[in-house]
Structure 1
Amino acid sequence: MADRLDELDRKILLQLQKDTSPSIEDIARSVGSSKTPVWNRIRKMRERGLITREVAILDADALGFEACFFVLIRTSEHDAAWQKAFLKALRERAEVQEAHRLAGDIDYILKVRVPNAKAYDAFYQALISEVKIHNVTALLSMEEIKSTTALPL
């Protein structure tokens, strides 16, 4: 699908990745087009699944979620039942912002956002009470240097 994007589509997507709150008229002006073609292109990109949803990005620190942990998980279990239980446990926990299955020595990495270390421990205890995990390493992020949802179009 990326090969079917022309320069105007890319400009629109770059603008929307920065901020979706401006009006269609303002977006059209910023990308050098008029309102109707921009609105039609956005509608078509939604229909094609290029734009999947629009969300508000909240300030975690301002809301009291000051601790960000990256959790490395190794498991000795690889059967379908374990994986189903593990994925269910992750999906039910709002603290888990991201979860990835990896190639290599680590099976999964999670990004977990909580108020503090005590809250992380509560998350950890709940997780290991539901699923058997061979090894867990939690890494506390000392400083967020870069965080973006924008793709390099």
Structure 2
Amino acid sequence: MVDHPELPDLDALDRRILRALQVDASQSLDEIARQVGSSKTPVWNRIRKLREAGVIRRQTVILDPQALGLGTCFFVLVRTSEHEAGWQQRFLAALRERPEVLEAHRLAGEVDYILKVRVPDAKGYDAFYQALIRDVRIFDVTALLSMEEIKETTALPL
């Protein structure tokens, strides 16, 4: 994560632009300007300033995991008895090398990390698990199979 000590004050137009971009960043400037009730040049200038300020980090494409054969989602709870910097560096490097890991969070509480992992099926998860424990020693792993995705979004509330 990037620290943004001097974030700009977002006004109503900035927020409308950001909402429109979160829905579909591939829209033309003309379309975004029409949606937010402004003209193209001010919209472009605001988008540029929001990028420079780090509010807009990047633009990407959201793929359908089912269409790509990655319909199985696991949430993996990791507990470790290792808390020195060397172990953590190896663990984080192992996570970064695994494309199956979509998200990884360090937690407070009894569980140290939670991972969101996408794989084709249970065999795919087992292959991921075997590779992970081969790369780094882990005290305890619990895998929770997501039975149904109820809500998924990348849009932040504005």
- TM-score over 0.5 (shorter chain): yes
2:77–2:114: 8 Å Cα contact kept in structure 1? yes
Aligned to 1:11: 16
Question: Letter of the aligned partner of 2:53 in structure 1?
Answer: R
| Structure 1: distance between partners of 2:58 and 2:7 | 18
Q: Return the match for 2:29 from 4, 24, 28.
A: 24
Aligned to 1:39: 44
| Structure 2: distance between partners of 1:2 and 1:51 | 11
| Structure 1: distance between partners of 2:52 and 2:128 | 38
Aligned to 2:98: 93
Q: CA deviation at 1:3?
A: 6.5
The more displaced of 1-10 and 47-56 is: 1-10
Task: Give deviations 1:89-124, integer Å, cap 9, x for gaps.
Answer: 000000000000000010000000000000100000
| Structure 2: distance between partners of 1:14 and 1:105 | 36
Superposition RMSD in Å:
0.9
Identity across matched positions, percent: 71
Give secondary structure in 2 for the equivalent of 1:68.
Answer: strand
TM-score if structure 2 supplies the norm length? 0.95
Question: Letter of the aligned partner of 2:111 in structure 1?
Answer: I
2:17–2:32: 8 Å Cα contact kept in structure 1? yes
Unpaired segments ≥5 residues, structure 1: none
Aligned to 2:3: none
| Structure 1: distance between partners of 2:95 and 2:66 | 22
Q: CA deviation at 1:41?
A: 0.2
Unpaired segments ≥5 residues, structure 2: 1-5
* Superposition misfits of 4+ residues, deviation over 4 angstroms: none
2:72–2:146: 8 Å Cα contact kept in structure 1? yes
Q: CA deviation at 1:21?
A: 1.2
TM-score if structure 1 supplies the norm length? 0.98
